[in-house]
Amino acid sequence: MSIAPDMSPAEDQLSFPPAEAVPPAAPLEMPVQDFASPPQAGPGRQMNSLRVWLARLVAFGGTAALAVFGFSQMLASFGADPTPLQIALLTLFVPTFAWVGFSFCGSLAGFLAPRLVTPQGLNTARVVVVMPIYHEDVALSTGLLVALARELAAEGMADRAEIFVLSDTRDPAIAVNETLVISAARRMSPLPVWYRRRLTNEDRKSGNVAEFVRHWGGRYDQMVVLDADSVLTGATIREMSARMQADPRMGLIQTMPMLIGGETIFARLTQFAGRVYGPMIARGVSAWSGDTGNYWGHNAMIRIEAFAQACGLPRLPGRPPFGGTILSHDFVEAAALCRAGWKVRLDHDLRGSFEGCPPTLLDMAVRERRWAQGNLQHTRLLGIKGLRGISRAHFLIGILGFLMSPLWLGLILVGLGLSATVLLSTPEYFPNAYQLFPQWPVFDSRRMLWLFAIAMGLLLLPKFIATFRAWARPLAANSGGRVRIFASAIFETILSALIAPVQMLVQTRQIFEILGGRDSGWNAQVRAGHMPGWGVVLRYHWAHVALGLGTLVVLASFSPAQLIWLSPILAGLILSPLTSRLSASPVFGRWARLRGLLVTPEERHPPAILTEAAAIARALPHAVPGRASLLRLGEDADLLQQHISMLAPFPEVLPLSLRMARITAEAKITHASTRAEALDFLDRTETDAMLMDPQLLMRWSRLPA
């Protein structure tokens, strides 16, 4: 379709390279679900095994028993006639105590996790690896995909596996980097590598994947979803494919990704915790979830037929943050599969699953802001028709994961208020004028101390069990030995204790922002951070420091004994700028590694796929920032042709915004005297439209430099 009526006949009949950026269309119907009605398709529900129900009894029954125990003991410490502040403390203490107890009981349930096996035999399932990207370092992401393609070919899957990069990038300069890097990657890959950049990016990642399924889902049987910094080994994908093919009811298999690539102390801390404690947690979740598991949005295999039938997500009524696009769509997609009768399972035994981790505390806070909004949205989805009970539990656990921060803060503040009341008020022994015997204040401090000790035990015991479990496995030898892994666990516990109070306040602020109607937006994730300056951390943490110092002064003056149990929290708040800055330091991270602290097996013996991916990324074209990325297309005909070859054909009906942008871009290019001047004339939307249109791009490239 020509939009430039004044083009010469020669220009109008230009022959462009065939549109091979994407395969032939293979549409698959993916209806938008009506969550107010039962599912219309699916294999129907099937009961979980007795083993799963026993694991649920351990996890949820144990949590309920601990909650009742905590309630009774706390109530007993207040006596028969508790004050309003004591009732408030009791109300906040019970869910907090139960939350700590659930982590312990969930870990115990892991002893009932099933032993999973991979069936042997012929597997002809067609597999596609999809990687949605949005303003990423495309060379690093593509390096992972090419390395994976080579492993899949080595596993004998070259004839039934393909790779699809699904771009939502809106920055024209980054888009050019994507096309040129992926064009080079296609020549290096033994598997087909397809690339499609969406014309618009409605509904974010979930909309990106859904659009892919609707256009090309009929071409494949199984879909592996990756993040831009994650990868699975070829052997793991082969095993997942065989397991799914052997069970026609299997809708989704989730793996437990191991964190990799951490250089800062914060990243290495998160990486070590995930590697040592993560497998035990995964076994527990796998045990009590059974075939009604959860989905974490990446490093999972999905049966495309099931996904298309059940996972067309609607938009929530109203405006963000509670309305609009479903942000934590992965939880909802898992729940939608389960309510239609498809199995969703966490295969805790698969180890060839890796992802990057946020480099700094500040970067983690940005990610958690979006997760918090997405999880709180789930409060509107608890009433989905046909929702499975365990899917509802997954929703509630995600919601409580963020609500625990304001609950914990409230517990501390009420506790301080209760202490102040005791210290500053005079007891009234005879509130009734006709009372014969005095009424003594009741506050069993010894019982409270024991409750605190039990809570700390429930919190720390799973960590030490996981550490001792690692001693008996090759993990210890591959992480520097038993002494170093134990020292690392102690170091991680201390540093986590310093970070936890800051995260509590940050998450509490995020919750109030969301409740106040503030949307998180959609920003590219930070994969490789840098150490923030003192000005940045002081601006971010000054309120935390002020709160810590103020509380310290008050308690030191009126109740020094309270400092004993509040000292970790106060230390975390007062030291937050120092902790935030030093934990973001790669130098400090290298110092820890040289001393054998927070070392994981993947660091000492990097998986082959990661080593090869790094080498491939270095061999791919380097990203060119900003305007220079665009100008090089006009200067190098070969690069221009590579870019054009990666453009998917336009659909018959274009979005109105794109049609208008093409028209205005064509007019501005016509009136420009040079390529640089044309770029000066074009706004970002018009530049993007030009980069998507071969005719406009060729016309622009013919302008003088």
How far is CA 94 from each of CA 5, 73, 78, 537, 664, rounded to the nearest angstrom? 73, 10, 14, 34, 62
Strongest mean pLDDT among 38-42, 185-189, 484-488, 533-537:
185-189
pLDDT at 9: 31
**Rounded mean pLDDT of the chain?**
89
- Reported residue count of the chain is 705
Intra-chain end-to-end CA distance of the chain, in Å: 27
Q: How far apart are CA 261 and CA 371, in angstroms?
A: 22
- Give the pLDDT confidence of 200-238 residue by residue, as tens digits: 889 999 999 999 999 999 999 999 999 999 999 999 999
What band does 438 get if pLDDT is binned at 50, 70 and 90? very low
Give mean pLDDT, residues 690-703. Answer: 94
Q: What is the pTM of this model?
A: 0.91
Q: What is the share, in percent, of the chain residues with pLDDT greater than 90?
A: 69
The reply to whether 190 falls in a domain is no
Q: How far apart are CA 127 and CA 158, in angstroms?
A: 10
Contacts of residue 272, defined as CB under 8 A and 6 or more positions apart, other chains included, come to 488, 492, 598, 599, 600
What band does 418 get if pLDDT is binned at 50, 70 and 90? confident
Give mean pLDDT, residues 412-441. Answer: 63
The reply to whether 266 falls in a domain is no
- Identity of the amino acid at 217: G
- Identity of the amino acid at 33: Q
The reply to whether 694 falls in a domain is yes
The reply to whether 697 falls in a domain is yes
Q: Which residue has the tokens 């500053």?
A: 424
The reply to whether 662 falls in a domain is yes
Q: Are 4 and 695 contacting, i.e. CB atoms less than 8 angstroms apart?
A: yes
Q: For residue 437, is pLDDT > 50?
A: no
Q: How far apart are CA 688 and CA 663, in angstroms?
A: 12
Stretch among 316-320, 521-525, 526-530 having the lowest mean pLDDT: 526-530
- Give the pLDDT confidence of 35-82 residue by residue, as tens digits: 999 998 889 888 889 999 999 999 999 999 999 999 999 988 887 778
Q: How many domains does the chain have?
A: 1
Q: How far apart are CA 439 and CA 425, in angstroms?
A: 15
Q: Which domain holds residue 670?
A: 649-705
The reply to whether 1 falls in a domain is no
pLDDT at 5: 36
Q: For residue 582, is pLDDT > 90?
A: no
The reply to whether 156 falls in a domain is no
